[in-house]
Amino acid sequence: MILQQPFLNLPTMNQQGLLVKMKVSQDEYSAIHYQLRLLDGTLKESTLIAINDYLNKEIQIQFNGNIQCVNCAKKVKKTFMNGYCYTCFQSAPETSPCVLRPELCRGHLNEGRNLEWELNNHVQPHVVYLAASDVVKVGVTRKNQIPTRWIDQGANEVIVFAETPNRYLAGVIEVALKDLFTDKTNWRKMLSNQIDDNIDLEEIKYRTEELLPSDLQDFLSEDDNIYHFNYPSLYFPEKIKSISLDKMPNIHKKLIAIKGQYLIFEDESVLNIRNHTGYDITFSAI
Ligand SMILES: [Zn+2]
Ligand SMILES: [Zn+2]
């Protein structure tokens, strides 16, 4: 890490590859560290760029016109569900309906597009969590995806609500809570870092536990820890303007913050990295 940084900060540094989800990690002070990840055309190798280091610097992201499926490497004109060609979108386990809607999962019944994948990914301990920002949101994630999933969503504070042996049961609990909480992230509010400081997640968890159907109460989590996330930023803009590499193939702007899977620039524009999964880009710092 220490050896890499001087090299990465060289103004002539150019890195080319297919954009995929940024890698995230958290240090002991709750600070989030992002790495921009670029895959080579065969999908076998990847380059990591410590993007936190470019805060307050001009960066350039140039779309080279090629898009590849990140599952089979085929060249495509457009992608489905973040980075998949149409064939993979219809057949890959990563794009199964139960990925977006856990209550549809049938992995625990030994069914699914790819049983081995289901057993490894969905018939595993899952959690239902409550995340606070301007409102309280409910969500589901595989336990070993903690805290990555929460950071990818740009959560500010999270409490674990329930823990289940598989994705299906977590989905059933999430559905039971959907009338009480939203399951959508308002990305504009998330990116302008609007937070309601009056939200007390522990109290909300206790109140919500009583409303859960009795057959699901066995899964309530005793972990009352509040997880905090501090995203790298100089400040957060008040207004947010989404940009895309399709309409703006050469982005050259000063980076002021990173939150969720978004890069946030000085002119209040934001780039959703996940929406550009599979896009062949060149990254440089000026
Ligand atoms: Zn494909
Ligand atoms: Zn599943």
Which ligand is located closest to the Cα atom of residue 168?
2
Which ligand is located closest to the Cα atom of residue 83?
1
Distance (angstroms) between ligand 1 centre and the Cα of 95 equals 11
User: What is the pLDDT confidence band of residue 286, given thresholds at 50, 70 and 90?
Assistant: confident
Distance CA 16, CA 284 (A): 9
In this predicted model, what pLDDT tens digit does every residue of 85-123 receive, in sequence order? Answer: 999 999 999 999 999 999 999 999 999 999 999 999 999
Q: Is the pLDDT of residue 4 over 70?
A: no
Which residues lie at CB < 5 A from ion ligand 1?
69, 71-72, 74, 85, 88
Distance CA 132, CA 119 (A): 31
Which ligand is located closest to the Cα atom of residue 106?
2
Candidates 152, 143, 156; CA nearest to 219 is 143
Which ligand is located closest to the Cα atom of residue 103?
2
Distance (angstroms) between ligand 1 centre and the Cα of 119 equals 22
User: What is the pLDDT confidence band of residue 12, given thresholds at 50, 70 and 90?
Assistant: low
Q: Is the pLDDT of residue 176 over 60?
A: yes
In this predicted model, what pLDDT tens digit does every residue of 181-228 receive, in sequence order? Answer: 988 888 999 999 998 999 999 999 999 999 999 999 999 999 999 999
For residue 2, what pLDDT is reported? Answer: 46
Distance (angstroms) between ligand 1 centre and the Cα of 39 equals 15
Element (H or E) spanning 65, and its range?
strand 58-68
What is the mean pLDDT of the segment spanning 162-178?
97
What is the mean pLDDT of the segment spanning 15-27?
96
pLDDT, mean over the chain: 94
Tokens of 184: 């959508």
Q: Is the pLDDT of residue 13 over 80?
A: no
Computed on alpha carbons and rounded to an integer, the radius of gyration of the chain in Å comes to: 20
In this predicted model, what pLDDT tens digit does every residue of 42-59 receive, in sequence order? Answer: 999 999 999 999 999 999
| Stronger pLDDT, 30 or 7, i.e. the higher one | 30
Which ligand is located closest to the Cα atom of residue 117?
2
In Å, what is the CA distance from 239 to each residue of 77, 236, 246, 261?
A: 31, 9, 22, 18
Q: Considering Cα of 159, then 93, then 36, then 63, what sign does the dihedral take?
A: negative
pLDDT > 90 in the chain, percent:
89
Candidates 258, 70, 256, 75; CA nearest to 151 is 258
Distance (angstroms) between ligand 1 centre and the Cα of 259 equals 28
Distance (angstroms) between ligand 1 centre and the Cα of 278 equals 10
Distance (angstroms) between ligand 1 centre and the Cα of 72 equals 4
For residue 184, what pLDDT is reported? Answer: 86
Measure CA 175 to chain center: 21
Instruction: Give the pTM.
Output: 0.92
Which ligand is located closest to the Cα atom of residue 107?
2
Asked if 63 and 57 touch (Cβ cutoff 8 Å), the reply is no
Distance (angstroms) between ligand 1 centre and the Cα of 177 equals 35
